Structure 1
């Protein structure tokens, strides 16, 4: 039996026999070719909806900034009007007072400021880490306990150190102890928020692996969550130490000890040369603490110069 190829008006060629019957594509013949794939339409170069959103955000931000500048009275004219007073203060700062008795009192104030910052760092870190562990979602603390810890941390950091210092000065009197308690509470609230976010940002794979093995919540947090975030936590604690130095200078204005108390006295008595000496001492103290922090972070593997 001979076969021929029959051409149709449309579709592929199909082999047929003399009787006009087509062969089945069951192995002897070839299956019909697959239908061509449809090409996806080319995506537009820019998303109009996204562009409109960006422009809207930009306009809202610009309006908010303009409203804030107008409401606070910030302009070049106000700076120019106060330039004369700023020049008098700047001239009065030089040369700094280098009297021997003053330098000894400044040294004592610097030591007291350092003691306040370290004591506040200790109490603030202990309280802050405890609150952070309770707040972190991947640790798995009970909901009521996590909510309570979050509320306490919010209260601690919402109240400024200066207001906490006024409260403790009224409670226990003037002195560095009031400054330690005031800075500790604010530092605890701030560290609780930042450390809890670092704990929640760790790689979830090791955490889930430990939970699948049947590990308890405490073991999972100690062995899988905290080790991943320990370097970042250490960096936050060291930065908080630097913040405590600056905060101790602020709370000293209300009698909470440290170099801030001497700064307040010098400013109220218009002793600008003495004020310059105190400012230099505070600057050197902050630079020293920053260098120590960088050294410790480098020891922990941070890429610092």
Structure 2
């Protein structure tokens, strides 16, 4: 009984020391960054934030600007869709050797490439692709494809490594080629995971495609940056609402696709 009490006492002391260490780190971070929380949560700050938010309303609902916003939405949607599609192809090409199907050397090389692609954020890739191909949606598409290809490739490789080997081995034993054994034995086992990963990254790429416009990659983000730089707050409000609406629509479409897929394979 005494040993159990001693263990509980040691555990509580360990938790207390951990909490004290975290509190010290958080307090030191606030002090180092000179964050004035008293000014942030003051009544004056609340009034300023309210006036700033209200300055965006009412949004610009003129026919000409709504048409421009609709074109920006289509461009953002196209950038995210094509970027995700290209990323899927790149991810599949790198995931096969990264899962160890072509030897240890190819596995190490492909995993290094995947880590390199996904370790560079989309905004950095966009800044580089804008320098390489110029301003516009092509730069945004390349940036999304490179980063998302690294993320999806790592996820695909992990799924392939954990896939059951029995179906593929059975096909190989019956005389099928390795390609056919993969297509009809291994791929059906990981296909639901692949679809879920692709749809999830597409949802994220919709939001990121809008942000990439701030570095000249086209779409709604470029419109928002332009309007904010000229202090056209009503127009910026319209673009922001369009971004939110596009994200909601893509989330709903993705959920519908996943639900129908699950019902079809239930």
| TM-score normalised per structure 2 | 0.83
Deviation at 1:170, TM superposition (A): 1.1
Q: 1:214 to 1:252 in 2, by over 3 A?
A: same
State the secondary structure of the residue aligned to 1:301: helix
Match in the other structure for 2:121:
160
Write the mapping of 1:186-265 to structure 2, written as runs, cut at 5 A: 186-206=147-167, 217-265=178-226
Instruction: State the match for 1:126 in structure 2.
Output: 89
Q: Equivalents in 1 of 2:180, 2:11: separation in Å? A: 45
2:98 is the counterpart of 1:135: yes
* Equivalence for 1:88: 51
CA drift at 1:97: 1.4
Aligned equivalents of 1:242 and 1:253: distance in 2? 19
User: d(CA) in 1 for partners of 2:226 and 2:234?
Assistant: 13
Structure having the larger proportion of residues in helix: 2
Name the CA shift for 1:78/1:124 in 2 (closer, same or farther; >3 Å).
farther
Equivalent runs, 1:13-162 vs 2, <5 Å: 48=7, 56=14, 60=18, 63-64=21-22, 67-68=25-26, 70-71=28-29, 73=33, 76-77=37-38, 79-80=40-41, 82-137=45-100, 140-162=101-123
Q: Deviations over 1:258-283 (max 9, x none)?
A: 10001111222222221111111111
Moved more, 242-251 or 128-137: 128-137
RMSD: 3.2
User: Cα distance 1:298–1:142, how it changes in 2: closer, same or farther (>3 A)?
Assistant: same
Please identify the structure whose Cα radius of gyration is greater. Answer: 1
CA distance, structure 2, for counterparts of residue 229 and residue 53 of structure 1: 42
Q: How far apart are 1:77 and its partner, in Å?
A: 2.8
Whole-Å Cα distance in 2 between the matches of residues 99 and 69 of structure 1? 49
2:142 is the counterpart of 1:184: no
- Residue 55 (structure 1) shift: 7.6
CA 1:70–1:102: 2 relative to 1, 3 Å: farther
Which whole-Å deviations, capped at 9, do the CAs of 1:101-140 have from their partners, x for residues lacking one? 1111101111111111111011111001221222124xx2
Question: Runs of 5+ in structure 1 lacking a partner?
Answer: 1-43
2 CA distance for matches of 1:259 and 1:58?
A: 48
- The runs of 5 or more residues in structure 2 that have no matched partner are none
- Normalising by structure 1, we get a TM-score of 0.73
> Aligned equivalents of 2:109 and 2:11: distance in 1?
37
- Determine the structure 2 residue equivalent to 1:21: none
Deviation at 1:65, TM superposition (A): 6.9
2:261 is aligned to 300
